[in-house]
Amino acid sequence: MKFQTIESRQNERVRAFCRLRDTAAERKKTGLFVLEGLRLCADCAESGIPVEAVFCTEAAKAKGGARLGTLLAGAKAVFTVSEPVAERLSDTVTPQGVFCIAKQPPAAGFAPKRGERWLALERIQNPQNLGAVSRTAEALGISGLLVAGGCDRFNPKALRASMGSLLRLPVLETENLAETLTALGGILPTFASVPDAAATPVRDVDFSGGAVLVVGNEGNGVSDAVLEAAAARVTIPMRGRAESLNAAAAAAILMWEMMQ
């Protein structure tokens, strides 16, 4: 492979990278996304996702390694970038010196099936939460995630927090979760989680027939339309302050119970 060198922070490739990093609209328009760090970039390439461009510093090249070699060999274009350019590309405190632009794998081809257990996330705003939920979902063996608004699945902060699991798990996106739930209702029991002591404690729910379970937005919870569309409501009984269970912790407990 032949490296081209980028030394200007104003380089068009650098600007394109930053637009993809910073805005969901740009990711949607182009069908591309970005990753930072050798581990994430290599995971991405190794899982068969086409890598359009790799950017790496001299220091990262000097460090080398088999995974970097494979990543570079499979990329359409490779660039050596100066340290100031790497700092511009990075959105972490300590840039790792390896970055890539990759093609979004299509979400199609997954469809929830009878008996499966899906978690739906309604307008989750914090990318750390989306990433953490995805990581837990993968560890526990959840069938897939249904992402409805909020942070998109190619948000770089969410991808990093997910340790790449967002690229490995089946992840579907929907613009209208209430409609999607109604449609899925014929295949799987649908649940909305609520901080309401009158709802069924999650421990008492029989998930043996599968489930789609909705976790709501951090501030506002599950929307009224989705509450209406879901067949049942479940809750995590709390003894302390109800406001104190955050979306990622609630999702971890709910997924754990779904998988029992």
- Residue ranges binding a copy of itself (CB under 8 A): 128, 132, 135-141, 163, 165, 203, 236, 238-246, 248-249, 252-253, 256, 259-260
Minimum CB distance to a copy of itself, residue 248 (Å) = 7
User: Which is it for strands 32-36 and 117-124: parallel, antiparallel or unpaired?
Assistant: unpaired
Pairing status of strand 200-201 against strand 77-81 = unpaired
Sign of the alpha-carbon dihedral angle for 222, 227, 231, 233? positive
DSSP state of 141: T
| Shortest distance, position 105 Cβ to a copy of itself, whole Å | 18
Nearest to 168 by CA among 210, 139, 148, 188: 139
Q: Which is nearer to a copy of itself, 5 or 260 (CB)?
A: 260
Closest distance of CB 77 from a copy of itself, Å: 31
In one letter, which amino acid is 257?
E
Token pair for residue 17? 């990278």
* Nearest residue (CB) to a copy of itself, 81 versus 132: 132
Residue 135 beta carbon to a copy of itself: minimum distance, rounded to whole angstroms: 5
Q: What is the DSSP string of 42-96?
A: HHHHHTTPPEEEEEEEHHHHHH--HHHHHHHHH-SEEEEE-HHHHHHH--SSS--
Nearer to a copy of itself, 82 or 246 (CB): 246
Q: How far apart are CA 46 and CA 60, in angstroms?
A: 19
Least distance from C-beta 222 to a copy of itself, angstroms?
Answer: 18
CB 37, min distance to a copy of itself, A? 15
Q: How far is the CB of 257 from a copy of itself (least distance, A)?
A: 8
The answer to whether the beta carbons of residues 210 and 119 sit under 8 Å apart is: no
For a copy of itself, the closer of residues 52 and 218 by Cβ is 218
Distance between CA atoms of 48 and 152, rounded to whole angstroms? 21
Pick 10 or 244: Cβ nearer a copy of itself:
244
Report the SS3 class of residue 257.
helix
- Residue in 115, 133, 116 with CA at minimum distance from that of residue 124: 133
Nearer to a copy of itself by C-beta: 56 or 254? 254
Nearer to a copy of itself, 4 or 92 (CB): 92
Q: Which residues contact 39 (CB under 8 A, 6 or more apart)?
A: 67, 164
